Chains A and B, each alone.
Chain A
Amino acid sequence: MTRFKLKLYVTGKTVRTACAVANLRRICEGELEGRVDWVVIDVLEQPQLAEEEKVMATPTLIKEAPLPFQRVIGDLSDRKGVLGGLNLLPRAQLEKGEEVQ
């Protein structure tokens, strides 16, 4: 099974951060349940990581695996857009093995 590795870059503990984390959690506990490792990185605490990954906007979600690398910018409120960015279809279709390549 393809395992996903996701990083969510945020700036501080703001409403926008909370929104992005909640939206990502729903996807990780939904479409990606049991096959994702995800981490939240606060650029205020670790700006050097943002520099290394050339992150400019927050929130920014980076899909490191599976390849290709993909970035999703924003609070992830457009679920359809996020799933498209992660190359995912809704869970029902995933269960039928219809993951988009």
Chain B
Amino acid sequence: MKVSAKKQPLRRKKVPGISNCRLIGGDPRRGESALVYAASHDAGVAYAMRYLADGIVQSGENGVFVTFEKSPRELRRAAAGFGWNVRKWEKKARWAFVDGTAPSGCPPVVSGNYDLGALLARIKHAVLKVKAKRLSFDSLDGVFDQFSDSIAVRAGLFAIAVAMKEMEVSVVMITGGFAEDSEIVRYGTADLFEGNVVKLGGVLKGLDQSPSSEIFTGELSRVASAEGLLPAG
């Protein structure tokens, strides 16, 4: 059954860097994954950090931030702009980074088949280390950019989503602006999220008409949207 955003009760939630955020249903429930479409990367980062910070400050839930675009150092600095001392949380084993940014030096050579087993092992290790109940993943685009084998990446993402569900860790995965030719839709990752979709920036156009939105039909149970982005920080 398709659920219209207009028919759902709205509740406002303050998200740093984002104004007029309307959330329906809110963050993913325990063990669920949600896909967050962000009109700008900064908005996505702000949402991902806010999700973990809320967990620590309000719910007593520790978190893991998996980053493919900004380095942990950049993220600590950005978080400080919102008043969050991530370094302190790291020292208290309440927050951990998994650094998926590309290593410096020569780009890798590909020879044969591969999987994302190391990424999954690192994520599990970080989750166990801080006893995390929340995980932010920034971003899907960042991991697809690093590997040419989209089938291997999709399988890896699926394995991560399944593992987090088994470990009762809820996940938000950030992706870039939504379009009919969205890479994410082409890669077929949306089915990982069981209909949990968060939209930031009102970038979803013609949700009911566009072919790419059909993947959500019947599953779009909880939608959050935000209109009007403010500069992060």
A54 at the binding interface (Cβ < 8 Å): yes
**Given contact pairs A11-B118, A55-B118, A60-B118, A74 touches B105 in the complex (Cβ within 8 A):** no
B122 at the binding interface (Cβ < 8 Å): yes
Chain B contacts for A10, CB-based, 8 A: 117
Chain B contacts for A73, CB-based, 8 A: 108-111, 114, 147
B219 to chain A, nearest CB (A): 29
Q: Which of B94-102, B186-194, B224-232 is the contact stretch? A: B94-102
**Given contact pairs A54-B100, A56-B146, A11 touches B112 in the complex (Cβ within 8 A):** no
Residue of B nearest to A54 (CB): B103
A21 at the binding interface (Cβ < 8 Å): no
Chain A contacts for B121, CB-based, 8 A: 11, 43-44, 47, 50
A4 to chain B, nearest CB (A): 15
Q: Complex formed: what's the CA distance from A53 to B121 in Å?
A: 13
Interface contact A48-B125, CB-CB below 8 Å: yes
Query: How many A-B contacts at CB < 8 Å in the complex?
Result: 116
Of A12, A50, A73, A78, most B-chain CB atoms within 10 Å: A73
A57 touches which one: B101, B115, B125 (CB < 8 A)? Answer: B115
Residue of B nearest to A12 (CB): B117
A11 to chain B, nearest CB (A): 3
Interface contact A82-B103, CB-CB below 8 Å: no
Interface residues of chain B: helix, strand, loop or mixed (majority) = mixed
B113 at the binding interface (Cβ < 8 Å): yes
Q: Complex formed: what's the CA distance from A82 to B109 in Å?
A: 8
| Contact string against B for A residues 27-57, beta-carbon threshold 8 Å, 1 for contact and 0 otherwise | 0000000000000000110011011011111
Residue of B nearest to A86 (CB): B109
Interface contact B108-A72, CB-CB below 8 Å: yes
Interface contact B113-A69, CB-CB below 8 Å: no
Chain A contacts for B152, CB-based, 8 A: 57
**Given contact pairs A44-B121, A58-B118, A71 touches B113 in the complex (Cβ within 8 A):** no
Q: Complex formed: what's the CA distance from A16 to B112 in Å?
A: 10
B118 touches which one: A57, A72, A76 (CB < 8 A)? Answer: A57
Interface contact B100-A56, CB-CB below 8 Å: yes
A20 to chain B, nearest CB (A): 8
Q: Complex formed: what's the CA distance from A35 to B86 in Å?
A: 45
Q: Complex formed: what's the CA distance from A23 to B114 in Å?
A: 14
Chain B contacts for A19, CB-based, 8 A: 112
Residue of A nearest to B97 (CB): A51
Q: Complex formed: what's the CA distance from A9 to B114 in Å?
A: 11
A-contacting residues, B119-157, CB 8 Å: 119-122, 124-126, 143, 146-147, 152
A-B contact pairs, 7 of them (CB 8 A): A43-B122, A57-B114, A57-B117, A71-B109, A73-B111, A81-B111, A82-B109
- A residues whose Cβ falls under 8 Å from a Cβ of B: 9-12, 16, 19-20, 23, 43-44, 47-48, 50-51, 53-60, 68-79, 81-82, 84-85
Known: A51-B98, A54-B99. 20 other contacts (CB 8 A): A43-B117, A44-B117, A47-B122, A50-B121, A54-B103, A55-B118, A57-B115, A58-B117, A71-B109, A72-B109, A73-B111, A74-B112, A74-B114, A75-B112, A77-B113, A78-B111, A81-B109, A81-B111, A82-B111, A84-B109
